[in-house]
Amino acid sequence: MPATRYTYADSPIGRLLLTATGAGLTAIEFPRGDVPRPAPAGADEDRPSFDDVLRQLEAYFTGRLRHFDLQLAPAGTEFQRQTWAALCEIPYGETRSYAEIARRIGRPRAIRAVGAANGSNPLPVVVPCHRVIGGDGDLTGFGGGLERKRFLLRLEGALPTGLFA
């Protein structure tokens, strides 16, 4: 098993825990409330190895980056990885429904499964699960909480009409 490294990134949506292996970035975890997630057991703190990730996150949160270019290594099933790949195709500033993502991956009836895969995305922000909304335009759930989802969509100029901050 590859060695896990970690660091924290301060952001407008809280202190994010970043983890990676030699294969790439494995997770971005939101804090619970205002408390950062604890580092994984046995992981080594290694801030320098996250320089590129930290630079890109900072550029994203300041509106200077619209597409991440990072080596990603999320753990998941083939269906989850297909769903996450489809999320990465949603352009900055746009949203898609769960049904649209299901059609995109060739599984038009798998709307709930797409929702579950979206909810288990280990790389939020970078793999933009926040850009997926309900078919009726509702924000629906988000692992980081709806306030963070609203923040990210507002940052990108994609907050659906009628949804207040």
Burial (CB < 10 A; 0-12, 13-18, 19+), residue 77, is: exposed
Cα(17)–Cα(113) distance, integer angstroms? 26
Of the residues 53, 129, 133, 155, only one is catalytic, namely 129
Cα(138)–Cα(135) distance, integer angstroms? 7
Q: Around Cβ 21, how many Cβ atoms within 10 Å? A: 15
129 is catalytic: yes
- Please give the radius of gyration of the chain, using alpha carbons only, rounded to the nearest integer: 16
Cα(65)–Cα(56) distance, integer angstroms? 7
Residues carrying an active site annotation: 129
